[in-house]
Chains A and B, each alone.
Chain A
């Protein structure tokens, strides 16, 4: 493996993190908070580490292959989180480094699972950093670097593929860099739009930015303990709408921009996604009707919650832990499904679910008619067997990891429901689960080891498993492979 190139690229990424820290620094300066020093220290650490790594590992050979792409991605995310946790520890607002690491990983992976018990007491600069990590992690750290700085290699597609979620990652335009730029421009425009709409609803700029970052990255960190419950119905509807919007494949926005509306409206994934959302929201609204004074309110809460879970954001307007089991099980199913591939959401992704069901149907049919020849079609095109088996294998690894994680945290003193949804919510980058980790609870009760395990789970989920597995396997690191 081209180790030098791997480290060099990671070093470049750390420099980016130093730049990103400017936003919380500015916030802290505006509010005249003392946490500005801790942010500056973190910035210095990122710069120093970045430059040192780049200095030691200046590569002669800049060619990378897919294995380097995977490892670069995994390492970058771990290093970003390790340094991103520093401000919380240095400022003393989250004294334990493990807690801070968990919180930062949760931020970058757009999970939104928190160990904080008293969010209101946090300084605004750190809250801004915590939410900004969602925005950065949503579209991808490396994709961002690709968009703003020229990469040293022209095989950056390997990195893009490792970081972008979804079974098949294609480019919008011939250049990887141009594709990254287009994605970020769309992301940025949608973000600004949401901020404006939230400002219209009476939020102040700080709140609007915090909640927009949470929605855009489909993360779910807010700045109040009750998440979104204290806001007006208008604001809740705006966030609901944007959670839906950020759960759609960004390629479709590009297609709409270049006026290929037909391709957008014939997208199978988009319609399935919409269908899942509408059916679940209706079912839950009917199920919880009696718990709320009006039908409108029941619809609002159910729509918000369904969107929040399916887009893997994890905001809450009500404590869905108190809902009947029917609704809670729908919520758990939605956690696993997630939103569209190529969006900022987590989970299995709707397209994978569609492909899985279609291939199951094919296999069943094949049992009845052993000699039948069929192709699985998706988005109007026949799928290659390679893609289908890739999806099936992904699902198998996914299930294996879920149960491994469950076993690893089984000794924790919580009930089964809590532990099961803890694993699902972290691995799918949702945020809240059920039981003690429900919308009104948090992850503070877990031990340090479990928090580390869950951090790995979140990274596994965000990077879609493979990069983390390869980065941890020794065979990839040997010089000769």
Chain B
């Protein structure tokens, strides 16, 4: 599909990289020629240097016949305008990054409707949502939800004390009476879809799929259920911090430490129930004073990845029950998880995932379409949710008789409000939603998983 990406900064560039991997025909628009030169050197994409809301630039980039136009520049207004123009020129779908909280309230639907946007994306809000999910369920490093939270998949790392280490999957099944599935295992740099004889080791990162109540039961049995975080300390008063604090307004208390006085005042006026502290969060003295040692969770959201990582390590040392850090650069993210910071949130990755999912869904408008897509385990595997149509070849056959491609697993079936963790005798029927885990294969529609 022909996709144009306007604005190739941190977020736009990462979106471009993941869409390039998907094999789309990409055109990048940016007003800095260095950015364009760099991108065209690394990826097989066309670059156009210019203002994304300039008609000439858009014509040159071919907005008239593109399948998807994505505006990811710094400015919300520019994104809206360029999406609007692209749409009027003939772009089939448009996606704009709109992250100003003022636009993200009730006016968003009005904007979307009248600008004819296919989607408005707010990376900071999405990041805040992911943070919220993790903080609600601190046992997991990461949590992915499917089909309106009917099915959850959590990632967690096996520690020395964990009962699971050293057991193979069949033994685990026998020992624990709960309905769950170990969907994939990451050991070092490699990701496996395990079979029954796969033996878990200390240090493995595993993905567990189960329905929400089952998951709590299971974690209780494993003695690794941590209680929901209520009292959180946020470092850095970014937009993400604002959205996160807003979500905690009803269910807990949030404290934000921010260096810039002006920003503190702004936050204080929009977040009346949160505590806003003006000070340098990099000073450990201040963190201790503001109760780092007693809070339920520490969230580092400053604009500097390195600072987030270092303060995250400090918080772990202070035995804070849950530490989450924002890391935008991929190479730093993998370093951070090596030194023991498990929960990492990256707005860039979240946004890229959403766009990859959207582009895949556009590519095959017929049949079963990708409804949700998560890149899991540092992007080495994918979890996808599909809605099963009557035409699908999978329906009506018990799963043990369905021949799947290697390294693919059906991780869950949602039928109405019921969640089924599939065993060999279960069969898929039309109308189900299924979650497919794939390591290495690119799955576009449900038919792709068959061998």
Contacts and interface: CB of A to CB of B under 8 A. Distances in A.
Q: Do A and B come from one complex?
A: yes
Interface stretch (B40-48, B141-149, B185-193, B245-253): B40-48
Nearest to A176: B44
Interface in A155-190: 155-158, 170-178
Given A174-B2, A384-B33, A157 B25 contact: no
Interface SS of chain A: loop
B234 interface: no
Contacts of B46: 170-174
A157 B46 CA distance: 10
Contacts of B40: 157, 171
Contacts of A172: 46
Contacts of B139: none
B8 interface: no
A174 B45 contact: yes
Contacts of A154: 20, 43-44
Nearest to A172: B46
Given A174-B25, A174-B27, A384-B33, A158 B44 contact: no
A157 B2 contact: no
Contact of A174 (B26, B42, B59): B26
A175 B44 contact: yes
A272 interface: no
A66 interface: yes
Contacts, number: 35
A112 to B, nearest CB: 34
Nearest to A158: B41
Contact of B44 (A65, A157, A260, A384): A157
Interface string A102-132: 0000000000000000000000000000000
B2 to A, nearest CB: 7
A178 B41 contact: no
A79 B25 CA distance: 33
Contact of A155 (B26, B33, B44, B47): B44
Nearest to A386: B33
Interface in A434-479: none
B27 to A, nearest CB: 5
B90 to A, nearest CB: 14
A175 B59 CA distance: 18
A327 to B, nearest CB: 42
A68 to B, nearest CB: 12
A158 B20 CA distance: 17
A252 B287 CA distance: 63
A178 B25 contact: yes
Interface string A145-159: 000000000111110
Given A171-B46, A174-B46, 10 more contacts: A155-B41, A157-B41, A157-B44, A170-B47, A174-B2, A174-B44, A175-B44, A177-B44, A260-B59, A384-B33
Interface of A: 65-66, 154-158, 170-178, 260, 384
Interface of B: 2, 20, 25-27, 33, 40-47, 59
6 tightest Cβ-Cβ pairs between the two chains A and B:
A174-B25, A174-B46, A154-B44, A171-B46, A174-B26, A174-B27
